[in-house]
């Protein structure tokens, strides 16, 4: 069954989706998921479940999303359609269709975008899955419970290769030295969802928006190289265009799979980057109920198994937020890294203006 939608496919109204999805679901047969080792339900077993006529539309930028959607659909029989893309384009789709939304839930990294959507009354409030969040998870649950944390990565550790860099930078200010002129790279927030939380985190660390802007302006004058997302920035590192890549922790650690000489340095502090699920407040009651079941499944033992295995060299390299789930062994102990958590409701309303400033003054 084809669960992953083309990034360029046309968004269709909810009412036009059910027939094609029901026909596709009928073709699901027994087998096992390639990622995560989660067994798929057999055709007869799945057919025995009550099939909802309302599909759950999942907007996601997670590397394990296809494996999760498949596991959820096989476990529940709920018709599920996945629209996968980078965070920026997904948020643009949501805003463009805000008067007639076509999504059921959003699953991306970073809390500032969710805080913005919550401020616009676009998210279901007051929902929390019946799970036991650990201390880390409890620290990032919003007070109004308008979105659900599903895991934690960090922004932005410094990736480098030990073959090229023998003495990596020791602080954020050292990136401005002549030693690193023209060899530092990062992503642009217009495409990369994790990048705005990093920019906001630096502004928080330096004490104000103005001082944060000064840091990035100095970084640009020192030859900062800006690419779209983690992949191109890491490719620039691999090709030798840059020597230091400021990228998401999961991407940096995952890149060691293809380059054992790659190292990851955590300057103090790095910014906590929770992945979250938010539910469309304008969705039908049925789809809202389905979305809640999806969030519950993601945080269940079965769902966490899929998350940890679905993208082993990428987004699966996260810190769990529920009790009893351990992070993959590739990750350093979180206690060994100085981490800050910025207030998404403080920085969320500033996102559009700061992103625009960054694109116009730093990216260009």
Q: Per residue in 199-225, pLDDT tens?
A: 999 999 999 999 999 999 999 999 999
pLDDT at 104 over 70: yes
pLDDT score recorded for residue 192: 87
pLDDT score recorded for residue 54: 82
Q: pLDDT averaged over the chain?
A: 87
CA dihedral 260, 265, 271, 277 (to 10 degrees): 10
Provide mean pLDDT across the span 49-60.
80
**pLDDT interval class at 193 (50, 70, 90):** confident
Q: Per residue in 26-47, pLDDT tens?
A: 333 233 333 333 333 333 333 4
**pLDDT interval class at 49 (50, 70, 90):** low
pLDDT score recorded for residue 88: 86
Q: Within 10 A of 282 (CB to CB), how many other CB atoms are there?
A: 16
207 Cβ partners below 8 Å, 6+ apart? Answer: none
Distance CA 115, CA 142 (A): 9
pLDDT score recorded for residue 359: 95
Burial 322-343 (b: 16+ CB within 10 A, else e): beebebeeebeeeeebebebbe
Radius of gyration of the chain (CA): 20
Q: Per residue in 128-163, pLDDT tens?
A: 999 999 999 999 999 999 999 999 999 999 999 999
Provide mean pLDDT across the span 43-66.
73
Provide mean pLDDT across the span 123-129.
97
CA atoms 286, 71, 280, 93: torsion sign: negative
Distance CA 224, CA 236 (A): 12
pLDDT at 124 over 50: yes
pLDDT at 23 over 80: no
Q: Per residue in 287-341, pLDDT tens?
A: 999 999 999 999 999 999 999 999 999 999 999 999 999 999 999 998 888 999 9
Provide mean pLDDT across the span 252-257.
94
CATH T-level topology, domain 155-272+335-363: D-Maltodextrin-Binding Protein; domain 2 (3.40.190)
For residue 86 the two structure tokens come to 């980078």
pLDDT at 4 over 60: no
pLDDT score recorded for residue 7: 37
- Cα–Cα distances in angstroms (integers) from residue 24 to residues 17, 28, 29, 65, 68, in the given order: 11, 7, 11, 19, 17
CATH 3.40.190.10 given to domain 4-153+274-332:
yes
Burial class of residue 180 in the structure, from the number of CB atoms within 10 Å of its CB (0-12 exposed, 13-18 middle, 19+ buried): buried
pLDDT score recorded for residue 234: 96
Percentage of residues in the chain having pLDDT higher than 90: 81
Q: Within 10 A of 31 (CB to CB), how many other CB atoms are there?
A: 12
279, β-bridge pairs? 105
42 Cβ partners below 8 Å, 6+ apart? Answer: 29, 30
What's the maximum distance between 2 C-alpha atoms anywhere in the chain? 66
Domain boundaries, the chain: 4-153+274-332, 155-272+335-363
pLDDT score recorded for residue 51: 59
171 Rama class: left (phi>0) / alpha (psi -120 to 50) / beta: beta
The secondary structure element, H or E, covering residue 222 is none
Provide mean pLDDT across the span 240-255.
96
Cα first-last separation, the chain: 42
pLDDT score recorded for residue 106: 98
For residue 66 the two structure tokens come to 């296809």
pLDDT at 245 over 70: yes
264, β-bridge pairs? 159
The secondary structure element, H or E, covering residue 13 is none
Q: Which long-range contacts (CB under 8 A, 24 or more apart) does 119-122 make?
A: 119/345, 119/348, 119/349, 121/281, 122/94, 122/98, 122/280, 122/281, 122/282
Distance CA 234, CA 223 (A): 17
Domains 4-153+274-332 and 155-272+335-363 share a fold: yes
Q: Within 10 A of 231 (CB to CB), how many other CB atoms are there?
A: 16
- Specify the higher pLDDT residue, 9 or 217: 217
pLDDT score recorded for residue 50: 58
């Amino acid at each position: 069954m084809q669960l992953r939608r083309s990034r360029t496919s046309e968004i269709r109204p909810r009412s036009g989706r059910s027939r094609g999805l029901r026909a596709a679901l009928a073709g699901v047969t027994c087998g096992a998921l390639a990622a995560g080792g989660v067994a798929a339900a057999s055709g007869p077993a799945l057919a025995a479940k009550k099939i909802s006529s309302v599909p759950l539309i999942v907007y996601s930028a997670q590397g394990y999303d296809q494996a999760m959607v498949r596991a959820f659909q096989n476990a529940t029989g709920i018709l599920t359609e996945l629209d996968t893309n980078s965070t920026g384009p997904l948020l643009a789709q949501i805003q463009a269709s805000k008067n007639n939304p076509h999504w059921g839930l959003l699953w991306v990294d970073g809390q500032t975008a969710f805080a913005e959507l919550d401020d616009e009354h676009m998210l279901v409030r007051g929902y929390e899955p019946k799970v036991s969040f650990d201390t880390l998870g409890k620290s990032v649950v919003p007070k109004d419970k308008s979105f659900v944390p599903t895991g934690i990565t960090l922004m932005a550790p410094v990736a480098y290769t030990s073959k090229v860099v023998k003495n990596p930078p020791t602080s954020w200010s050292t990136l401005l030295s002549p030693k690193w002129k023209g060899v530092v790279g990062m992503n642009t927030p217009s495409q990369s969802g994790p990048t705005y939380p990093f920019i906001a985190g630096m502004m928080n660390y330096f004490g104000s928006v103005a001082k944060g802007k000064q840091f990035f302006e100095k970084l640009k004058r020192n030859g900062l190289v800006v690419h779209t997302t983690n992949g191109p920035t890491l490719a620039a590192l691999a090709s030798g265009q840059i020597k230091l890549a400021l990228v998401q922790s999961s991407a940096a650690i995952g890149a060691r799979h293809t380059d054992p000489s790659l190292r990851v340095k955590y300057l103090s502090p790095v910014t906590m980057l929770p992945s979250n699920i938010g539910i469309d407040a304008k969705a039908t009651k049925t789809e809202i109920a389905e979305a809640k079941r999806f969030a519950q499944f993601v945080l269940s033992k079965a769902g966490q198994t899929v998350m940890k295995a679905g993208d082993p060299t990428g987004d699966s390299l996260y810190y769990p937020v529920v009790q009893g789930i351990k992070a993959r062994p590739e990750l350093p102990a979180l206690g060994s890294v100085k981490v800050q958590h910025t207030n998404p409701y403080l920085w969320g309303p500033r996102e559009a203006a700061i992103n625009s400033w960054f694109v116009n003054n730093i990216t260009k």
